[in-house]
Amino acid sequence: MIVKRARSGTKTYTRADVKKLLGALERQCREAMALARQAEVEASKHSFGAYRAFREKVEEFQAVVILVEGRLRNLVDERSGDLRQEFERLDALMLSVLVRASLRFFFVLSANPILPLGAREVFVGELRSLNEAANKLKSPTYAARMDSQLEHDLGTASLILEEIIDKAPSLLNFDMGEDDEDEEAYGNNQ
């Protein structure tokens, strides 16, 4: 990889550098799709391992997204339109995979009457992630790529997730003072 420094001290990158990272994004997207299918199957067996692996793959993808954005900003070649279009296509594709995989996983999970201790904290983070995906997909850059079905799936996934959060047990709060414990033990919370 040839990296040059611009006069301002900022690294600059070649089209080949960006294309290499776009190839990595495409591979990660394919891997995430396979993990999403596996997560749906495992969720019906009350297993969270595949969904966790899927989310880790999405996080890896998002880290590479940050790298690509930086390289596109500091590209030596002025011609970046085609690279930016490919980047936006892959990013939007992964966002839609995230939304649809989450919807399917949460739907299966919502039928489960018993969730593990600490599930609430995990799913609050998932709700935040869905909200970030929705905001990005509704931005001017991605709005044309979001069809009505994806918008519907986003809303449905959020509603299902909120229902799961409501019924999920949270981690025990060991930071309560004695007075709080007594009130809670006797049902005097107001």
Q: For 85-130, give the DSSP string.
A: HHHHHHHHHHHHHHHHHHHHHHHHHHT-S---TTHHHHHHHHHHHH
Q: Judge whether 29 and 90 are in contact, CB under 8 Å.
A: yes
Looking at residue 185, what is its pLDDT? 42
Round to whole Å and give the CA distance between 102 and 122: 13
Residue 180 counted as domain residue: no
Residue 182 counted as domain residue: no
Residue 188 counted as domain residue: no
Beta partners for residue 136, in sequence order:
none
Looking at residue 48, what is its pLDDT? 80
Residue 124 counted as domain residue: yes
Looking at residue 92, what is its pLDDT? 94
- The series of mean pLDDT values per 10 residues for the chain, 190 residues long, is 53 93 96 93 81 94 95 89 95 94 85 75 84 91 90 90 80 53 43
Half-sphere exposure of 10 (CA within 13 A, CB side): 10
Looking at residue 108, what is its pLDDT? 82
Range of the domain at 96: 4-174
Residue 102 counted as domain residue: yes
Residue 181 counted as domain residue: no
Residue 190 counted as domain residue: no
Round to whole Å and give the CA distance between 82 and 160: 38
Residue 138 counted as domain residue: yes
How many domains does the chain divide into? 1
